[in-house]
Structure 1
């Protein structure tokens, strides 16, 4: 599975699946979540509402992932995942890693060959960017055997993961994590 960095706006990346750093309500919000809902249009929100009415009446738990169509985005699907809020006194690293693992598993089940990730939890949820990038890169590398091209003839697989940092600081953190 190829990992790459493409700085910019995740709503403009042409991939099979875009990962949304959602909140547990799945009904839109700020940051990446708001941008995906605005650019993707009302179709995404309608699907999220259906999920809340059926499978997820209490919302999406942190570390889990679920897919909807991508509406007007240049992607086929949006994979929604809820990152943990950073806390200095509680290690939630495994929950953050789970966001990447579960999103890749959903992508493979969908048949998505290319996936774009934002820096999950590194915005309003306060995760330090260097650590968020390290967890993202390490987790995606570790998932290559399970969801990458060598996953097996009957399994869906992900060929490429694109990290889409929004700022220069985020880009530098992802480059350092890729080189580390």
Structure 2
């Protein structure tokens, strides 16, 4: 059985410090492109979901073996727990495609929630310590990692996929 590992480079290589979001994960959704799988056999293709903010451009991709290719995009329904730590703002795990479609407070409510222009920051009506479960849609780029059936005669191996981006 093989493992798939993803390395994502964060930050701006020119040091300007522009904020942006770039993350990647294996598509393990039960109805997703990998059929809910999180481990794979040699020779299989593994689908990776890449999330980025609007101000991030993908500057390159590479992998340690096999091939990595872009396969379009998909919309993913995301459920996050937002932690308000004596504050009125919290961060989503992925940039939202549009507003929040559902919000449920666990315990104390800080009022209404609004998605900020960066599409990652959520602002509550008031400041406090609270937890909210939110649901939203996120746009994901789809990458396919095609693995070889063996690597140097081995059938148990890892492949590193690297996705680079720059924030403007």
Q: Flag whether TM exceeds 0.5 (same fold).
A: no
Structure (1 or 2) with the larger CA radius of gyration: 2
Larger strand percent: 2
Q: Normalising to structure 1: TM-score of the pair?
A: 0.25
Q: Normalising to structure 2: TM-score of the pair?
A: 0.26
